[in-house]
Amino acid sequence: MVAAPISSGAAARRSAPYRQRTGCMTRMTTPISAYRIQLRNGLSFSDIAAIVPYLNDLGIDTLTVSPIFSTIEVSSGKKSYNPTKLDGEAGGEYGFAVLDTALRKLGMGLVVDINPNQMPATHHNPWWFDVLEWGSESRYAGHFDVDWKKRLTLPVLQRPLVEEVQAETLQLHFHQGKLAFGITYGDVFYPLHPRSYEVVLRGVGNALSIDFLDAANKADAQRSEEFHFRLREIYESSELAHRLELAAWLKELSQDMDAIDKVLSMQKWRLMTRQKARRRMNYRHAFDSVHSVGVQVEKPQPFKDFHEVPLDLLEISQIIGFRVNQIDGLADPEAYLRQLRANAGENAYLVTDKILLDGEKHPALWHADGTAGYEFISATANVLIDHDKLAALEKLYSDIGGPGLLHYRGAKSAVLHRRFAAELQALVDLIISIDPDAATGLDLTRAVTDLVIELPVFRTYSDGRGVLEPYRSILRSTISEIKSRADATDARALEFLQKILETSDGLGGKRARSITKFQQLTAAVMAQAIEQSHRYGRGPIALDEVILHGADSGDPVQAFHDKMLNKAAAAPRGMLATTFSYTTKFGEDARMRLLALSEAPEPWCEAVLRWRQKHAQHVATIEETPAPDPQTEWLIFQTLAAIWPLTLPLDDETGLNAVREDLSVFIQKAISEIQRDAFWTEINRPYELAVMDYINQLFADRSFLQDFVETMRPFWVAGAINSFSQTVLKATAPGVAVVYNGAECWDFGVSNIPASTDVNFEALATRLSYADQSPLNILLEDWHTGAIKQRLVSTHLRARKRKPGLFTGGEYVPLKVTGKKRRNVIAFLRKDGSDVCMVAVPRHPFDAVRRFNTPFMPIPGWGDTAIQVPQEIRGLELQDLMTGNRTILADKCLIADAMRGFSTVSLMTD
């Protein structure tokens, strides 16, 4: 049965008071394994419906999908601008019904993204359009986080206003789609306030302009739909001659600087260049774009309007829950999640994109099932990287690159001053206004700046009594650290700031707002600095895919166990991710290759030096700066090592061009985002062109490419084994395993590059059939195709389906490993009643496989390495998921025996 259109039930309730949904979900909603799909590159709901049978066969029971509501393409990807309508480009209500039917037929669920923190600031957004037109009079003025004490500042102009008018880039006209007069700049339309229509229309005396002006004089912000409906009637019933006369007049008026200036002065908004607006912006914008605006979803009406249709879909479709994006941008994440849970019901599946840093735990008070799983990316990177040799790698990188590694504090400082200067100043002004006398003589700008930069987490959290633990302690220790430095900010300023930001004396209006604004600012700065700029500036970039300020180098295996034990206790229903498009730069298997570099830093660095010397003549000089500079050269070679396809022959010109294009796009983005100093404030085109030419020269040199492939071969073999380990860890650790779009096979792509991330699902389905039917040894010999990884993924996902309680709720027990190679094994037990799965995976495989061409750990090398088997499971007969071999457990399990057929172990009860 096709799902009913969403509009019928929702529309009937729009005029009724908002009702609290209590327990609207009655079906079981915890996913077992999820598959992540991005609605981009023309992918539609119907396209997804067509691959549902394949995903079911793979072992998936839940889809998780990027926003399904009306979206617009912006620089940072597609973003939803209207949460009340399903995305028309993806198929609208009909297409969604097709997808819903396909999921219902196979009993699969759907988790969709929502982003209550922000919406695109575009005329396509009906709420924002109304705000642009009416300003603070708009019904939606309270929906957005705007300081209405001054006109709305829009940082959109490329040149000063006078130059734009002279270039005729600002055009007055009547927009037939939006049914309003306004100014078009680029592809964006800015509506005029109806009270300014008189200035625009006074030069035209025909009946059309008179009727327009009459309608504008009667317009009411609370009945704007009626106003625009009336304008449609007037326009469509007018004479063609009058419409042409009006169009000609508006064209002439657009070239009159005095007229344009007068019209603009009457609007609730003002257009500025980005540079001029930097310290004048008066709306909270998104982490990654000034072209998005913060939503005040903490208020009842915005919450109701934003969630009405998503909650309707939760009741009538296969949607089982939501992934809440940019949770740290909200004024009060805990209160928001409490309200969402109350309306969605206790059984709804809710996860957030919260990134946990430096020992943070999932907030106990949050009414969510866990996170989207980013912390698992850090956990696996930390346990698989070779910490003993990492320092050598970083030292060699520093020797080659000149300056040391870009510290995340430097990136935060640059982001704060370049992108959030207005927010910083507004926060300081607000803090000073709380107690102006006490603030006199204090350098609070420096104090706030230092605290934002030094805070080691995204943000603190608070309730009506002040900042909550452990964040109060983090705040205090950070302030103490700043005060202890030789160049520390004035201690009194920091003490004054600390009193404001952690008060527990009943929060007053200004004090509460200052805490909220500080929390939102630190989250935005950290997100932008660490998720984008900082990671491009690191040498061993895999460390920073989701943020490791400092790796757990003491005992990485125990650190991994501790994190999994914490997850099992705090958020066993949370997700386990190894890739997410806007958080990681590389595909999950590309990242595993980079981790292998840490195991053999000397041969890698020798190769980089050799390649740099070979191509030194292609390094240009731009403004006394080498192009590319040494750090960028390293990044070029490192990126190429990560993304090179296993099956690419050197005589395949088409394939080589595709790799070169992906590399070029990635490096261009890196150049624009590193922003190390003033030289990088804007994209430096000559430098960029010189770097692109350097890359072209690399690909024109076949001897280099041959040397490159031969040098990287052992790293790629070791990287494949790392991938096997990562895959098994994700499939067996506590939580919901998430497979990213196409990553069931090798994923050596670069995130956010369409050509790099397109997925051929028809080929995947064919390869899955091949993987299922082929002997394991044949798949290992043919490992370059990715069928072996697909077999590994599907085998474990199907096992999860057979025993869901074992993996989403079962006990996690770290196992002791003894013997010669004990440090090269991670082992643990999953247990749920009589169901058991004993898991072991290798780490640091490079030395063992460097002379081999197949990702298989040589048996003799394991020696006496063994897992110590707990007393309670000795005597059990278990079967290995990959090889099918059966084992009766004794007091110990030799790794050489357990990994005889494949280099991971998953021994499970029937």
pLDDT digits (tens, 9 = 90+) for 766-818: 999 999 999 999 999 999 999 999 999 999 999 999 999 999 999 999 999 99
Instruction: Name the nearest CA neighbour of 346 among 1, 753, 26.
Output: 26
Does the pLDDT at position 41 exceed 90? no
Read off the pLDDT of each residue in 429-444 and give the average, rounded to a whole number: 91
Q: DSSP 3-state helix, strand, coil percentages of the chain (rounded to 5)?
A: 50, 15, 35
Does residue 892 sit in helix, strand or coil?
A: strand
Q: For residues 292 and 294, what is the distance between their CA atoms, to the nearest angstrom?
A: 7
Distance of alpha carbon 628 from alpha carbon 638, whole angstroms: 14
Q: What pLDDT digit, counting tens, does each position of 607-659 carry? A: 999 999 999 999 999 888 899 989 889 999 999 999 999 999 999 999 999 99
Predicted local distance difference test score (pLDDT) of residue 73: 64
Convert the pLDDT of each residue in 733-744 to its tens digit: 999 999 999 999
Higher pLDDT, 879 or 456: 879
What is the rounded average pLDDT of the residues 355-375?
Answer: 87
User: What is residue 48's predicted lDDT score, i.e. its pLDDT?
Assistant: 97
Mean pLDDT of the chain, nearest integer: 89
The sign of the CA dihedral 580, 354, 795, 864 is: positive
Model confidence at 397, pLDDT cuts 50, 70, 90, reads confident
Q: Where are the domains of the chain?
A: 7-121+294-353, 126-282, 420-527, 596-714
- For 855, the token pair is 């990702």
pLDDT tens per residue, range 520-555: 999 999 988 876 655 555 555 555 554 444 455 589
Position 778, amino acid? I
Q: Is pLDDT of 289 > 90?
A: no
Window from 742-751, 821-830, 891-900 with minimum mean pLDDT: 742-751
pLDDT band at 13 (very low <50, low <70, confident <90, very high): very low
Q: How confident is the model at residue 409 (pLDDT cuts 50, 70, 90)?
A: confident
Containing 86, the helix (H) or strand (E) segment is strand 77-86
Return the pLDDT at 508: 62
Task: Check whether 406 has a pLDDT greater than 80.
Answer: no
Q: Does 186 have pLDDT greater than 60?
A: yes
Average pLDDT score over residue span 461-477: 89
Q: What integer pLDDT is reported at residue 8 of this predicted model? A: 36
Percent of the chain with pLDDT over 90: 72
Residue 288's pLDDT band (cuts 50, 70, 90): low
CB 61 within 8 A of CB 32: yes
Q: What is the pLDDT of residue 506?
A: 53
- Residue 20 scores a pLDDT above 70: no
Residue 475 CB coordination number (10 Å): 20
Say what the pTM is. 0.92
Is residue 369's pLDDT more than 60? Answer: yes
Q: Taking Cα atoms as reference points, which of 39, 95, 41, 48 lies closest to residue 67?
A: 39
Q: What is the pLDDT of residue 465?
A: 78
pLDDT digit string (tens) for 71-124? Answer: 776 555 556 678 889 999 999 999 999 999 999 999 999 999 999 999 988 899
CATH fold label, 7-121+294-353: TIM Barrel (3.20.20)
608 by Cβ neighbours in 10 Å (0-12 / 13-18 / 19+) ranks as buried
Higher pLDDT, 404 or 99: 99
pLDDT surpassing 80 at residue 353: yes
pLDDT at 1 over 60: no
pLDDT of residue 196: 96
The answer, yes or no, to whether residue 274 has pLDDT greater than 90, is no
Q: Quote the percentage of the chain above a pLDDT of 70.
A: 89
